[in-house]
Amino acid sequence: EAEVAQSPRYKITEKSQAVAFWCDPISGHATLYWYRQILGQGPELLVQFQDESVVDDSQLPKDRFSAERLKGVDSTLKIQPAELGDSAMYLCASTLSGKNNEQFFGPGTRLTVL
């Protein structure tokens, strides 16, 4: 069964360092989402891609976060520099289109900033 892949699964870093997360959506899924989930809360959308284009990055802290999906397939989310408050689960999801389609999630990357 096709799945959304994410790596790494866990990342520990010190504040002010750079970190990067990778996501490979289900083959054929044009829409890709990055979420951040703080413990005990629902996920928060950071960025939404349609193919290689950003549809919505209004909640992405652009002073330190960046996201790209250069070829419209896999995607990278970067944080530089990391801050203590960035400790969270980072989730990637994909769907065939943005409407009336189920979002499928990867296993997530657990980030701890020390």
The residues that touch another protein, with contacts defined as CB under 8 A, are 6, 40-45, 48, 56, 89, 91, 93, 98-100, 102-108, 110
DSSP 39-103: TTS--EEEEEEETTEEEE-TTS-TTTEEEE-TTSSSEEEEESS--GGG-EEEEEEEESSSSS---
Residue from 2, 71, 10, 61 nearest 34 by CA: 61
Closer to another protein by CB, 64 or 110: give it.
110
Closer to another protein by CB, 52 or 56: give it.
56
Least Å distance, CB 17 to another protein, is 22
Least Å distance, CB 114 to another protein, is 18
Closer to another protein by CB, 18 or 96: give it.
96
Least Å distance, CB 112 to another protein, is 12
Strand partners, 94: 32, 104
